[in-house]
């Protein structure tokens, strides 16, 4: 079986396969009377859409979203919002040569082991195509948060590492993020990254990446201990994205190398309110938001869709070799940036609705 819904009050359920007729989702738990139109969602989908940059996949998808329910005269009704994107790239490509082969490093074998079905058309349900609907749900989630908190919030992701090359945090320029093909906040690292990507493409190889998502404007109090802590749910949300193998909050793994007295976020008063002197906690303490910036990082492994031939097996337990044909996407992590933003948004929206 499977489980395709996330969230407890603000919930969304996605459906659809990479090369099926369409993909879609149903977003439930949205309060009524929030203005919503297709363009609000489309703008985020455009950010994720493949085929836009020479640095990402060339699959052509218009990714045009259509709202089928839950909006009446421009306002949400409080009822489920059904979204659909018809697959354009559904052409019956010839899969006969890889039909029975499990691509290594993909979910082909585990899906087959579990379900006894092998949807060889781009991985079927396990394809990252599903993440388009996360981005769509995330667009609605942003509106829910702002409606509930009665203020603007900013959720913004950035690429902070490709392969072994990290950004210099001192160069962080928020505005620059949307002005380059990498969602990179550090102008200086761009030439190196361009070179790395093109090299990986030419070598038929691929590179991993680290994405950092930040959210400003969330007040103290979001998160439901002990088992719906905000950080725990963010970790789940991020880890559920394809190819993600690690998640950390605030200083994360780095905090291990810091002494306790350095790691403590000390508190002072400013304008009669608590002011933290540092943010090693990443804005979450005891599973509850502190009012500081929320900071989550996750890593995306280098894709296994590469031109280099790799050893694997087929359904009949024969040993074979396989390599991806044609152009490939040397750093899938780039496109995970808007997806990570969306997961932050849906998680926060769900927790917002718990506030009494």
Distance CA 347, CA 25 (A): 16
User: Contact between 74 and a copy of itself (CB under 8 A)?
Assistant: no
Nearer to a copy of itself, 179 or 275 (CB): 275
- Candidate residues 22, 98, 153, 190; the one interacting with a copy of itself per rule CB under 8 A: 22
User: Contact between 91 and a copy of itself (CB under 8 A)?
Assistant: no
CA count, 13 A, side-chain hemisphere, 331: 31
Element (H, E) at 111: helix 108-115
User: Contact between 110 and a copy of itself (CB under 8 A)?
Assistant: yes
* Residue span binding a copy of itself (CB under 8 A) among the ranges 50-58, 88-96, 172-180, 238-246: 238-246
User: Contact between 340 and a copy of itself (CB under 8 A)?
Assistant: no
Distance CA 13, CA 25 (A): 5
Smallest separation (angstroms) from a copy of itself to the CB of 175: 26
User: Contact between 94 and a copy of itself (CB under 8 A)?
Assistant: no
- Beta-ladder partners of 12: 6, 27
CB-CB contact of 345 with 214 (8 Å):
no
User: Contact between 138 and a copy of itself (CB under 8 A)?
Assistant: no
Q: Which residue has the tokens 């490709």?
A: 162
- Candidate residues 117, 150, 170, 326; the one interacting with a copy of itself per rule CB under 8 A: 117
**3-class SS letters over 72-108:** ECCEECCCCEEEEEECCCCCCCCCCCCCCECCCCCCH
Which parts of 177-196 interact with a copy of itself (CB under 8 A)?
none
Q: Classify 49 as helix, strand or coil.
A: coil
Distance CA 327, CA 298 (A): 26
- Candidate residues 61, 63, 231, 350; the one interacting with a copy of itself per rule CB under 8 A: 231
- Candidate residues 41, 213, 247, 294; the one interacting with a copy of itself per rule CB under 8 A: 247
**Order of strands across the sheet that contains 22-28:** 5-6, 11-16, 22-28, 81-86, 65-67
User: Contact between 344 and a copy of itself (CB under 8 A)?
Assistant: no
DSSP 31: P
- Candidate residues 52, 246, 279, 293; the one interacting with a copy of itself per rule CB under 8 A: 246
Question: Which residues lie below 8 Å from residue 20, measured CB to CB, with a gap of 6+?
Answer: 87, 90, 124
Q: Which residue has the tokens 């919030």?
A: 153
Nearer to a copy of itself, 45 or 332 (CB): 332
* Residue span binding a copy of itself (CB under 8 A) among the ranges 52-60, 79-87, 167-175, 184-192: 79-87
Which parts of 267-326 interact with a copy of itself (CB under 8 A)?
267-269, 272-274, 277, 280-282, 285-291, 299-306, 308, 310-313, 317-319
Q: Classify 268 as helix, strand or coil.
A: strand
- Candidate residues 170, 175, 259, 326; the one interacting with a copy of itself per rule CB under 8 A: 259
User: Contact between 200 and a copy of itself (CB under 8 A)?
Assistant: yes
- Considering CB under 8 A, how many residues would be counted as binding a copy of itself? 143
Nearer to a copy of itself, 139 or 247 (CB): 247
Question: Which residues lie below 8 Å from residue 325, measured CB to CB, with a gap of 6+?
Answer: 307
Question: Which residues lie below 8 Å from residue 91, measured CB to CB, with a gap of 6+?
Answer: none
Nearer to a copy of itself, 175 or 227 (CB): 227
User: Contact between 217 and a copy of itself (CB under 8 A)?
Assistant: no
- Candidate residues 50, 163, 185, 340; the one interacting with a copy of itself per rule CB under 8 A: 163
Nearer to a copy of itself, 44 or 298 (CB): 298
- Beta-ladder partners of 297: 212, 248
- Candidate residues 137, 207, 213, 342; the one interacting with a copy of itself per rule CB under 8 A: 207
Smallest separation (angstroms) from a copy of itself to the CB of 7: 9
């Amino acid at each position: 079986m499977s489980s395709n819904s996330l969230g407890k009050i603000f919930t969304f359920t996605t459906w659809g396969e990479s090369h099926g007729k369409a993909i879609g989702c149903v977003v439930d738990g949205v309060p009524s009377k929030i203005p919503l139109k297709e363009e609000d969602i489309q703008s985020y989908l455009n950010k994720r859409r493949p085929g836009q940059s020479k640095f990402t996949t060339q699959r052509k998808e218009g990714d045009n979203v259509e709202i089928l329910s839950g909006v009446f005269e421009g306002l949400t009704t409080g009822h489920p919002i059904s979204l659909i994107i018809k697959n354009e790239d559904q052409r019956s490509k010839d899969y006969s040569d890889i039909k029975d082969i499990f691509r290594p490093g993909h979910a082909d074998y585990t899906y087959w082991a579990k379900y006894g079905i092998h949807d060889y058309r781009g991985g079927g349900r396990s394809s990252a195509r599903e993440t388009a609907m996360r981005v769509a749900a995330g667009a609605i989630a942003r509106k829910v948060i702002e409606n509930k908190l009665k203020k603007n919030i900013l959720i913004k992701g950035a690429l902070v590492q490709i392969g072994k090359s990290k950004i210099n945090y001192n160069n962080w320029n928020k505005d620059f993020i949307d002005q380059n093909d990498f969602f990179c906040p550090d102008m200086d690292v761009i030439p190196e990254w361009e070179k790395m990507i093109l090299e990986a493409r030419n070598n038929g190889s691929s590179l991993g990446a680290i994405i950092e998502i930040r959210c400003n404007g969330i007040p103290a109090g979001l998160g439901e201990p002990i088992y719906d802590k905000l950080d725990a749910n963010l970790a789940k949300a991020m880890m559920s994205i394809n190819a993600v193998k690690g998640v950390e909050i605030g200083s994360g793994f780095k905090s291990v190398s810091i002494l306790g007295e350095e790691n403590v976020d000390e508190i002072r008063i400013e304008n009669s309110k608590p002011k933290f002197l540092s943010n090693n906690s990443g804005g979450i303490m005891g599973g509850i938001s502190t009012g500081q910036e929320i900071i989550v990082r996750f890593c995306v492994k280098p894709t296994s869709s590469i031109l280099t031939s790799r050893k694997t097996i087929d359904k009949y337990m024969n040993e074979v070799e396989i390599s991806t044909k044609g152009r490939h996407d040397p750093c899938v992590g780039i496109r995970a940036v808007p997806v990570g933003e969306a997961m932050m948004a849906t998680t926060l929206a769900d927790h917002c609705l718990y506030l009494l």
